[in-house]
Amino acid sequence: MADYWQRLLSSLYPSSPHCPSCGRVLFDRNHIICPKCAPFVFAEAPAYCKVCGCAMRGGDVCKICYENTYLYERGVSMLIYNRYTRPIIHSIKYNNNTDLAYRLGALLSIDILRKTDILHKVDVIVPIPLAPLRYEQRGYNQAQYIAEGLASATSKPVEACALQKIRETADQIGLSRLEREDNLRDSFATVSSVIKNKNVLLIDDVLTTGATVQACTKALREGGCNKVYFAVIASSLH
Ligand SMILES: [Zn+2]
Ligand SMILES: [Zn+2]
């Protein structure tokens, strides 16, 4: 029955925005998530890793950060990647929902401020770039819209061209952390001096194993930047 009403509403209001989590029509244009999904989408995790910022069931540092040393300083992750947030990430990644990416980026600023003092330390915001072919296929980089949304709320500049992906890499899905690191080796490069001696905040949609952030941090450090922090919209619960 609920499906019937949803289909009816969707046909009556075809141009209305829909909740990216459940697909219901959003009647309030100020909402980005419907009131039914919001408590699940923005659910607080029991704990967050003090290094990478991933959501955790408890403790101070996640297993991956406990066992590895990274070049970056620390990270923040706003949402838990689960069945409520997966469609949201899909929407900003593949459905051209750049407005949602921008608005989530603005919300990310509040989350970073709530959890850390990173925003007081960074000078520039750098979105993690897509490989040129991927960018051409998709037509946009979702991380850039998240970064622009974050910049609108913080007045920190976005340097979208400072870092580039210089070679295509195989899909990371199904690869272990070490395989991902190997796959991404030397695939990013700093191509501008604008980040020289600056503290950089890297932005991406999802944190999986941290291999991408690590590869980007290495490239930024080789390009002469000072410290690297990062923030993502979602990460899996560890
Ligand atoms: Zn919803
Ligand atoms: Zn961690």
* pLDDT digit string, tens, across residues 114-153: 999 999 999 999 999 998 888 999 999 999 999 999 999 9
Check residue 174 and give its pLDDT.
79
Statement to judge: residues 22 and 122 lie in one domain: no
Q: Which ligand is nearest to the CA of 47?
A: 2
**pTM recorded for the entire structure:** 0.92
Model confidence at 196: pLDDT above 80: yes
Tell me, in angstroms, the distance from the centre of ligand 2 to residue 48's CA: 8
pLDDT band per the 50, 70, 90 thresholds, residue 223: very high
Statement to judge: residues 148 and 173 lie in one domain: yes
Q: Which ligand is nearest to the CA of 36?
A: 1
Q: Which ligand is nearest to the CA of 232?
A: 2
Q: Which ligand is nearest to the CA of 62?
A: 2
Statement to judge: residues 83 and 4 lie in one domain: no
Statement to judge: residues 54 and 150 lie in one domain: yes
- CATH value at residue 53: 3.40.50.2020
Tell me, in angstroms, the distance from the centre of ligand 2 to residue 122's CA: 20
| Residue 213: exposure state from Cβ atoms within 10 A (0-12, 13-18, ≥19) | buried
Model confidence at 6: pLDDT above 80: no
| pLDDT tens-place string over residues 11-65 | 666 667 889 999 998 888 788 999 999 999 999 999 999 999 999 999 999 999 9
Contact yes or no for 233/108 (Cβ under 8 A):
yes
Statement to judge: residues 112 and 164 lie in one domain: yes
Tell me, in angstroms, the distance from the centre of ligand 1 to residue 164's CA: 35
Provide the residue range defining the domain that includes 79. 44-235
Q: Which ligand is nearest to the CA of 34?
A: 1
Statement to judge: residues 125 and 188 lie in one domain: yes
Tell me, in angstroms, the distance from the centre of ligand 2 to residue 179's CA: 18
Select from 115, 129, 111 the least CA-distant residue to 205.
Answer: 129
What is the chain's mean pLDDT, rounded?
91
Statement to judge: residues 70 and 182 lie in one domain: yes
| pLDDT tens-place string over residues 79-113 | 999 999 999 999 999 999 999 999 999 999 999 99
Q: Which ligand is nearest to the CA of 48?
A: 2
Check residue 83 and give its pLDDT.
95
